[in-house]
Amino acid sequence: MEELLYNSCMEQKRDNLVFVLDDDIKFGYAEWPAGDYPLHYHDHFEFELVTSGKGRQVFNGEEFELKKNDIFLLRPIDYHQIISEGISFSHIKVKPSILPGWIIQKLHSFKNPIVFHLTDKQYDKFYFLFKMINDEIENKDHDKSLDIRIALVEMIFTLFIRLDKNNTSLYDDSVSAKVIYFLQKNNRFTQKVSLDEIAEYVGYSKFYTSTIFHKQYGITIQDFIINQRIEYAKKLIIETDLSITEIVIESGFESTSNFYSKFIKYVGCSPLKFRKNHKQVK
């Protein structure tokens, strides 16, 4: 699994302005043009609207072309890689915690590739909504307009779902969607959680739950939990001054030694080197 993850120790600074709203909604506009990105994944849903240029996206092992007017979705479990040919994006990142359950379940029912080529009219509509979210996030009175931003986000997701034409998965998508929702809601993955608890929430046996999840995403539920803890730890390392010991506790690892071994395996360097490298990049 480690070969699938983005080696964050090699991260480079991008001229990419990102606005953050309560760590739940992020808006970015990237006119790099975007460089290549190694294989990695996120802990959030992410829309990418191609504004210019072209490139290729490797999405869960499947490669497809990208060009202007394309919009695609990345889910919290999707491994992806960008191969750029001068491509530029406008993008929105959204934590699953603010989305209704029906949207999450539908998004996890999509097959690869989750990419649509928009008409000019559709492109203008999505770009307008992206810009409205940006304007709301920049609004100095943004705390008073949280409902507006969430409504705009839900509108974008709903319009995106409407683009789908019989794009259904081979698997029981409600199982994987419920697993991911259960683990990500309120950072449940940072706590001790058993497969029995997960299966009880999903409503199936733990064997069926784990089998469907593995068939759909190619990793075990335990691997997913570890991935989520590592991503959360990386966030704490970058964005806080917490000690490594405190981060071990916050991210849900059993011990400091276990954390160090998993972090080095998945990220490619020690937590201290990761923090040092990130500060140098900034």
CATH of residue 90's domain is 2.60.120.10
Task: Taking residues 78-91, report their average pLDDT.
Answer: 82
- The tens digit of pLDDT for each residue in 6-41 reads 445 544 333 333 334 456 777 665 544 455 566 666
Instruction: For residue 153, give every residue at least 6 positions away whose Cβ sits within 8 Å of its Cβ, in sequence order, or none.
Output: 25, 92, 94, 98, 99, 133
- In the prediction, which pLDDT does 136 show? 80
Q: Are residues 209 and 230 in the same domain?
A: no
CA neighbor of 18 nearest in space, from 38, 40, 46, 39: 46
pLDDT 10s digits, 208-264 = 999 988 887 778 999 889 988 988 898 899 888 999 999 999 999 999 999 999 999
Q: What is the pLDDT of residue 84?
A: 82
Whether 63 and 37 share a structural domain: yes
Same domain, 278 and 202: no
Q: Half-sphere exposure (CA, 13 Å, Cβ side) for 245?
A: 0
CB-based contact 80:59 (threshold 8 Å)? yes
The predicted model gives 176-181 an average pLDDT of: 82
Q: Which residues contact 115 (CB under 8 A, 6 or more apart)?
A: 57, 59, 64, 66, 70, 71, 72, 73
Residue 205 is predicted with a pLDDT of 94
**Separation between Cα atoms, residue 237 and residue 235, nearest integer Å:** 5
Q: Summarize the confidence of residues 108-127 as an average pLDDT.
A: 87
Q: Are 214 and 176 in contact (CB under 8 A)?
A: no
Q: Who wins on pLDDT, 227 or 4? A: 227
Claim to verify: residue 231 and residue 141 sit in the same structural domain: no
**CATH number for the domain that contains residue 274:** 1.10.10.60
Q: Classify residue 191 by burial, with Cβ atoms within 10 Å: 0-12, 13-18, 19+.
A: exposed
Q: Where is pLDDT greater, at 60 or 142?
A: 60
**What pLDDT, on the 0 to 100 scale, is given for residue 213?**
87
Q: CA-CA distance, 60 to 36, in Å (whole number)?
A: 16
Percent of all residues in the chain with a pLDDT value above 90, rounded to a whole number? 29
Q: Which residue in 127, 155, 150 sits closest to 29, CA to CA?
A: 127
What is the amino acid identity at position 39? Answer: L
- Whether 6 and 104 share a structural domain: yes
Q: Are residues 23 and 130 in the same domain?
A: yes
| Residue 121 and residue 14 share a domain | yes
- Per the document, the length of the chain is 282
Extract the tokens encoding 229. Answer: 């803890």
The confidence score (pLDDT) of residue 142 equals 57
- Together in a domain, 180 and 250: no
pLDDT of residue 196: 95
Which whole number is the average pLDDT over 88-113? 80
Q: Residues 145, 84: one domain?
A: yes
User: Are 104 and 210 found together in one domain?
Assistant: no
Q: Does pLDDT of 107 surpass 50?
A: yes
Predicted confidence (pLDDT) at residue 111 exceeds the cutoff of 80: no
> In terms of domains, do 62 and 152 share one?
yes
| Distance, CA of 193 to CA of 188 (rounded, Å) | 8
Instruction: Report the number of distinct structural domains present in the chain.
Output: 3
Nearest to 135 by CA among 126, 125, 123, 145: 145
User: Which residues contact residue 75 at a Cβ distance below 8 angstroms, ignoring those fewer than 6 apart?
Assistant: 45, 107, 108, 114
Q: What mean pLDDT do residues 200-208 have?
A: 93
User: Do both 145 and 229 map to the same domain?
Assistant: no
Read off the DSSP letter of residue 22: T
> What is the predicted pLDDT for the residue at 24?
72
Per-residue pLDDT for 169 more than 60? no
Residue partners of 114: CB distance under 8 A and separation at least 6: 59, 72, 73, 74, 75, 107, 167
Domain that holds residue 260: 222-282
